[in-house]
Structure 1
């Protein structure tokens, strides 16, 4: 059972956004015995979800949903009274000022004009559960660059970050616009029905750069509007787009055909091989080899461009590799590989997917839902 609270959403935000609420004075402990808590103060908050629905223009629709278990009629009546004062917006349960402080701090840090619009408060009682819901539009929340949406600096302020932690029972859920693909995600996050999710714990802390979240809409130029994110691309839970599967089958078919056509050249038999001519009597000449023992028909990697070398490595490794392995295989510096892969990603020759502290490199539309260690 979660701890009992009196100022429901406001107390919640003191936990989630200490930087924003640090200026709020704390009353001194009373010298007389404290009054007995009211029924509303005895309600127990079970969990809270911060839902962020992104839009292609960078705006985001926020919904802060706090849930309560209502065990009997007394709990239900107490919650209804709490809900009425919450909807009225004239009690300490009104946490909008905390988000406004966060918005002002992020606007100052990023230089983007930000504003909270279309504010709505509601409460719901349904099947033994009560919910307080605060929703609003946060303009210019994400940085827009071409077809990319980047969220990292949206959590910045001049003095650090306004979202410093998620407590146990709190979750941050981010939904992309329809057709957008997640290309970079933070540690301790996972995909839940197409949405990026981070569940809080006593040790969940955030610093600058920890919430570097990037979506790319250029993979599906025909997509329009917003959605829940269930069609966002290869990394998702519970399904894979049909077009993605067909694309992979086509790529695999082409690769298999090329390997079959070049099998005799790429993998010559030791000591040469013979094939029957029309009359079956004429042996073929043994395969020529270089001084190093390699077939003369093999590709000289020194003649390939850097991009072609990366693509050749990907083909040899099933279409996907970790960036660190590419550095090891090529012998290039980390900086050169990082710059090269970023350029190839912009040209849609490869895809880069951030997994924890590593990058997974793959051909476009490669199935990376089952990532090997």
Structure 2
């Protein structure tokens, strides 16, 4: 593995995936570069998502986002969309060529056989909560990771390091059924199998580095418990079995009764408790807001609205002045911290919300409400 190859790989990956995507990758091939640059929308940020699979391959999804905050920018982006869709090849072919070069250089540097396949490009407009024009490039990178003793390791592909510009985001997501045991450098956001860095970030050689291992314990424990129950039941007489079922049924009834009492008490507490400073707005029913339930003129709940988790969070933020602590969002919906982090993470990836780390917790805001 030559030093010159390392430097070349850093240059190709960082420039091709980030700098070129922010600039000429959006412009169609043209003899006059100045004219071509005038035909492309200005990009405000780029979100690069690398989804790892158990076999070592990775799906790269790169979104180039343009904020459509004026009528003129909307008009310009709509015209760009028409050009893009009428001749997608002019935008896709240069990107495909660059990615084939990136993957070939990486294969030489790591000694693994690699390919870039299923290269696609598309454009869309996101309407909620703020309007964005988005160009999405997507491709599969075979043998992207190293594999050792059951571990899936990301890092050696970044010979010479990696770079993301200010306001840009890099996210690495592990395979299903895997968890992170090591991640360097420390990400801005970390979950069980996902790490996110916000730019500007200039990564060191062979970084970012993330190690994923299979999640263990849950399946084996459940199987062992089931086998033990079956063996125990077979060794008992039918009379004892009926007695055990009666006891279990009694306990279940008691637990259901206690659960109902807790829910009733909790709802009454939520209704009677005054709004906390800076977290809730006046004039809104906290319980109806947190469950996404419609409320009639008499204040009684009607049929529950069919909303996604992301839409419920956006409604909650909008009703509470556009900003809330992530822990409070979890309390409102009675979600676990991990589920709340996943939902907020998806909204952040889409640009629907922004996260600001304050000490050991996140402040979640609607983009137009952030300071």
TM-score by length of 1: 0.46
TM-score by length of 2: 0.46
Q: Which has the higher helix share?
A: 2
